[in-house]
């Protein structure tokens, strides 16, 4: 007996998963969406905490990548609704198991709820004093990360969003194949580690990273320690946030729903 599902069996499983997600109550979707946003935010902060003092860029990326997968592990194993992973619901739509209305209801509700959860954690962290770590260097790092993301050109953010969610939905795909917790953790870990180390863009993660930078930018000491030009924080506002989230979200949908979701539906489900 195999301890994992075949790709064809995974595609079939997503039909059932899609139906369950589509039928979930609005209240449940909101609660589970907020939790997922919080889990990703916890992982995002931990990835900054572990890497801010590492001067070697490669090692810093490696350290961040080693920690960040914890967010999706919590989502999958504990149970939560993550927008980027739910892009695979496209398989249920293509198989006519769910309607377009049900798909969009889930995506929109979960996306907004993910945003709420992420921003709540970003705010709580800004109030915790933890950004003072390393002589306030962590706070400076959080601001610099947010500036970089909010300053990305549309086309670059779009492409990085596509590449990112290819990895994320593959992690979810493989986790679905695994039949035990250890297998699910391993399946999630490496694709997520890869996207973080590569510098791809994840919409829900950025719902933490950019608001965290916005909150931190109100502390002049962080700007001074990080030698950050005060004029550069002009992008740290709602406009800068959504100039990143819009292209990254579109890219995430293209990468997760189209590149992977429809591709695997075509190969494994179109004749079912």
Domains of the chain with bracketed CATH: 7-268 (1.20.1080.10)
Phi-psi region of 133 (alpha: psi -120 to 50; beta: other; left: phi over 0): beta
Average pLDDT over residues 10-33: 96
> What are the φ/ψ torsions at residue 4 (nearest 5 degrees)?
-150, 160
The full 3-state SS of 96-115, as one line of letters, equals CCCCHHHHHHHHHHHHHHHH
Structure token digits, residue 258:
């189209």
Helix residue ranges, H only, the chain: 7-23, 26-51, 57-67, 70-74, 90-94, 100-128, 137-150, 154-177, 181-198, 203-216, 220-225, 238-253, 263-268
pLDDT at 272 over 70: yes
Specify which residues 4 forms β-bridges with.
178
Structure token digits, residue 18:
């899609």
User: CA 105: distance to chain centroid?
Assistant: 19
Q: How confident is the model at residue 85 (pLDDT cuts 50, 70, 90)?
A: very high
Measuring CA to CA, which residue among 47, 45, 38 is closest to residue 196?
47
> pLDDT by residue (tens digit) across 90-118?
999 999 999 999 999 999 999 999 999 99
Q: What average pLDDT does the structure give for the chain?
A: 97
Structure token digits, residue 161:
């969003």
| Percent of the chain with pLDDT strictly greater than 70 | 100
CA distance 201 to 195: 8
pLDDT at 1: 60
pLDDT at 86 over 80: yes
Torsion of CA 253, 257, 259, 262, to 10 degrees: -160
Whether 117 and 37 have beta carbons less than 8 Å apart is answered as yes
| Percent of the chain with pLDDT strictly greater than 90 | 97
What is residue 75's three-state secondary structure? Answer: helix
> pLDDT by residue (tens digit) across 204-244?
999 999 999 999 999 999 999 999 999 999 999 999 999 99
Q: Which residues contact 100 (CB under 8 A, 6 or more apart)?
A: 93
pLDDT at 150: 98
Say how many C-beta atoms besides its own lie within 10 A of residue 73's C-beta.
22
CA distance 229 to 222: 11
Say how many C-beta atoms besides its own lie within 10 A of residue 179's C-beta.
12
pLDDT at 271: 84
Torsion over CA: 187, 146, 83, 35 (sign): positive
> pLDDT by residue (tens digit) across 151-199?
999 999 999 999 999 999 999 999 999 999 999 999 999 999 999 999 9
CA distance 76 to 94: 23
Average pLDDT over residues 22-31: 97
CA distance 143 to 221: 12
């Amino acid at each position: 007996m195999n301890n994992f599902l075949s790709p064809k069996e995974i595609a079939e499983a997503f039909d059932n998963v899609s139906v369950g997600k589509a039928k979930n109550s609005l209240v449940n979707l909101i609660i589970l969406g907020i939790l997922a946003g919080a889990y990703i935010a916890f992982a995002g902060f931990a990835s900054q905490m572990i890497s801010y003092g590492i001067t070697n860029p490669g090692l810093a990326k490696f350290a961040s990548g080693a920690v960040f997968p914890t967010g999706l592990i919590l989502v999958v194993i504990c149970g939560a609704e993550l927008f980027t992973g739910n892009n695979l619901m496209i398989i249920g739509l293509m198989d006519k198991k769910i309607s377009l209305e049900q798909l969009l209801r889930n995506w929109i509700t979960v996306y907004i709820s993910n945003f709420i959860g992420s921003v709540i954690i970003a705010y709580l962290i800004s109030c915790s004093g933890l950004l003072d770590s390393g002589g306030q260097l962590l706070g400076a790092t959080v601001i610099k990360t947010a500036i970089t993301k909010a300053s990305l050109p549309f086309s670059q953010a779009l492409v990085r969003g596509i590449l990112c969610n290819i990895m994320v939905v593959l992690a979810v795909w493989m986790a679905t194949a695994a039949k035990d917790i250890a297998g699910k953790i391993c399946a999630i870990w490496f694709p997520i580690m890869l996207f973080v180390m590569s510098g791809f863009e994840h919409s829900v993660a950025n719902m933490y990273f950019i608001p965290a930078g916005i909150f931190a930018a109100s502390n002049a000491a962080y700007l001074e320690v990080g030698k950050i030009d005060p004029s550069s924080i002009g992008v740290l506002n709602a406009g800068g946030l959504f100039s990143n989230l819009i292209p990254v979200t579109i890219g995430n949908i293209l990468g997760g729903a189209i590149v992977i979701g429809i591709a695997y539906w075509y190969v494994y489900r179109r004749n079912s």
